Amino acid sequence: MNSKTTPDITRRFFLKSSAAVLAGAFTGSFVLHKASALAFKEFHLRAGKSPINLVPEPNGTTNAWCFNGVVPGPEIRVRQGDRLRITVDNALDEDTTVHWHGMRVPNAMDGVPHLTQPPIAPGKTFTYEFDAVDAGTFWYHPHQRSFEQVGRGLYGPLIVEEPAPIRVDRDLTWVLDDWRLTKDGQISDDFGNLHDMSHNGRIGNTVTINGHVPETFMVQRGERIRLRLINAANARIFGIDFGAHRPVIVAIDGQPVAPHNPENDLLVLGPAMRIDVVIDMVGDVNQRYTLTDPFYRGLKYRLVDLVYTDTPMRDRIPDWDMQLSANPLTEPDLDEAERHEVTFNGGMMGGVVMQEMGGSMGHELMGAMGSMRGMMHSGKIWFINGVAAEGHIMDPMLTLRHGRSHVVSMANATAWHHPIHFHGHSFRVISRNGNPTAHKEWQDTVLMAPKERVEIAFVADNPGDWMFHCHILEHQAAGMMGVIRATQPGERT
Ligand code: C2O
Ligand code: CU
């Protein structure tokens, strides 16, 4: 089942042979249990248009595109090892798909239009079936014209609980989003405009938590909360300052990490990233504490206020263990790893459009040229190894041998941040600008700063053609996307 055949796998084919497909896809990879052993947990998602209560009264409702009439879409919550069957109905006026961001699913279930499935046409249905291999915080969203579909509200959380979760008083999910609203509280329809595409994406003017403009959040002194943060924004990078509170990061992109405080006390989430933090409520009863977001210089704003109730829950900080148990990921062997180079370039720099001008490997930097008009005409603004994607079908930029360890050395040659996402795998972030990372975090989306170099390492253990792209959805739409092929077991390259 390589890329030449996956686009032809129809829903009917899949339903008839889903057990075989799932079992086959996991052979030699991460096997949790036999395909027949468990019943499916069934879910139903309907992508459609509905009014939602995004902004507080007296403003009216906002017309959104969303799942099951709500933003975020319903939280899908299962246990690790569960089998999921999720039926998606398309009540939009255009094609869609659903991608299970960060979930290591078989390729045919990855929700990439044309590459892994035919898009779901208006009025049609597609059924996704896969196992929850990893515990953690994940999310789902369309992969068809995602800069507009996600931007209008199509997304939701997918939580996979550990068999033995860490002890907390409350386990909460905050899906963060950023909207560009007009004065009358409607979604501005300037999706995909050239300025957003060539700069830092569609940054909005209204930040929401779980689909509402947040005011206050009630907590209790002494309480311990596990907060699962999901950045569902098209483009906004969140950098949360918890003030007097000291969050402890326990998982990134669903994968456990050695518990640690965020660098510089700022919790930074690029688009599509998730961070699970444990927070002890150390404030005083009846007090109010402000969480701010100073990430963009000069654009600091108040995210939400924590408001303490008048009675404490307990008087000292609990000493409960915060370390989550590891997911079944294969450890890459850095000495034996095959090495690959990836360079990102393009976008605006110093007032001009950077365009790729060659270098067969794409490593030589391009000249600064190209008119806005030329760019608008081609829609090619961002490049990976010299290529700007158009659509989801393309020749693989890298072919990775099955079962081998791979190190991908990535260079951001642009003047902008890019959250780089790889489908079907989690990778260890092993170095930044040549310096080993402190925690070798497993991630599926790594935020690269302007001019930064990042190395990631992983084992290619999930065969198929997988998207590799910037998760600033305007950058993705303007070319910053490629395909990485993970070969089948035994396949020659
Ligand atoms: Cu969150 Cu290619 O996706
Ligand atoms: Cu980008």
Rounded CA separation 91/40 (Å): 24
- Which pLDDT belongs to residue 355? 61
Rounded CA separation 227/229 (Å): 6
Structure-token match 């689909």, residue found: 211
For residue 492, pLDDT over 90 is answered with no
245 CB within 6 A, ligand 1: no
Amino acid letter, residue 216: T
**Both tokens of residue 291?**
């969480």
**pLDDT, tens digit, for every residue of 70-101?**
999 999 999 999 999 999 999 999 999 999 99
* Strand intervals (E) in 91-235: 99-101, 125-131, 136-141, 156-161, 170-179, 206-209, 216-219, 224-231
Residue nearest to atom 1 of ligand 1 (CA): 101
Q: What percent of the residues of the chain are helix, what percent strand, and what percent coil, each to the nearest 5? A: 10, 40, 50
Average of pLDDT values for 411-431? 97
99 CB within 6 A, ligand 1: yes
% of the chain with per-residue pLDDT over 90: 81
93, HSE (Cβ side, Cα atoms, 13 Å): 3
Backbone angles phi, psi at 148, to 5 degrees: -100, -40
Other Cβ atoms less than 10 A from the Cβ of 203: the count is: 18
**Both tokens of residue 29?**
């990879």
For residue 10, pLDDT over 60 is answered with no
Which ligand 1 atom lies nearest to the CA of residue 272? Answer: 1
Burial of 335 (0-12, 13-18, 19+ CB in 10 A): exposed
Confidence of residue 20 (pLDDT cuts 50, 70, 90): very low
- 234, 261 Cβ separation under 8 angstroms: no
423 CB within 6 A, ligand 1: yes
Closest ligand by atom to 473 CA: 2
250 CA → ligand 2 middle, Å: 26
- 47, 67 Cβ separation under 8 angstroms: yes
Statement: the pTM of the whole predicted model exceeds 0.85: yes
**Both tokens of residue 115?**
């590459």
Other Cβ atoms less than 10 A from the Cβ of 108: the count is: 24
